[in-house]
Amino acid sequence: MQEKVAVYAVGPSALRGQGKGVLYATQRVLRGVDLLKLPVDRQEDFYFWLDEQTTTILEAMPINSKPWGAARKALNLFLRDALYNRYLCKEYGIDRTEDWLEIPLDSAVAKGLIKNDTQGDLPPWPRLKHLIKDDSDKYQRFAGRLATEKGIARVHLDMTFWLENR
């Protein structure tokens, strides 16, 4: 089940243009993520784990330029779809992390967030290949505030923004 979710959540369009072999290497890492070790009790532990998994994906990429944004997007897509999969969600308690999950960032989601940023707090979208953690964190914080206003977890904003801006 986890392998299916990894492959379907992170398909060719999700990592288009990131480099030769990046898709397969990323899917291979996601298939092997030990979800039994997913921290579900403390938010700080969850974010530390998220950073560790992002690094693991980056290290597996068979290219010199390691696109941090692509690795994080893939991990977030995988976790979102694992949340939406009733079997994985139940087995590993993924629903306990729902409020901590990040929105998978890409140009379509960034466009939706920027459209809602009336104060101009967000930096220009650098493209996924050039996204760094600091800018990602700014987008995630903004998405969190927007999601709170809407009464949902930020991970669910992806459905709206991706559909509106693809």
pLDDT, tens only, 67-96: 999 999 999 999 999 999 999 999 999 999
From residue 153, give the alpha-carbon distance in Å to each of 20, 57, 59, 74, 135: 34, 25, 30, 18, 20
pLDDT at 19: 87
pLDDT, tens only, 52-71: 999 999 999 998 889 999 99
pTM: 0.96
In angstroms, the CA 36 to CA 139 distance is 28
Are 50 and 121 within one domain? no
Are 82 and 34 within one domain? yes
Domains of the chain: total: 2
Show which of 97, 115, 137 is a domain's final residue. Answer: 97
Comparing CA positions, the residue from 67, 76, 73, 78 lying closest to residue 19 is: 67
pLDDT at 6: 96
Are 136 and 64 within one domain? no
Is 11 a member of any domain? yes
From residue 158, give the alpha-carbon distance in Å to each of 57, 90, 110, 133: 22, 22, 10, 19
From residue 16, give the alpha-carbon distance in Å to each of 49, 70, 87, 126, 140: 26, 9, 29, 16, 22
3-state secondary structure of 35: helix
Is 158 a member of any domain? yes
In angstroms, the CA 43 to CA 49 distance is 10
pLDDT, tens only, 1-33: 999 999 999 999 999 989 899 999 999 999 999
From residue 164, give the alpha-carbon distance in Å to each of 79, 113, 121, 133, 158: 22, 11, 21, 25, 10
Place of tokens 């532990």: 45
Structural domain including 123 reads 107-165
For the chain, how big is the Rg over CA atoms in Å?
15
Is 102 a member of any domain? no
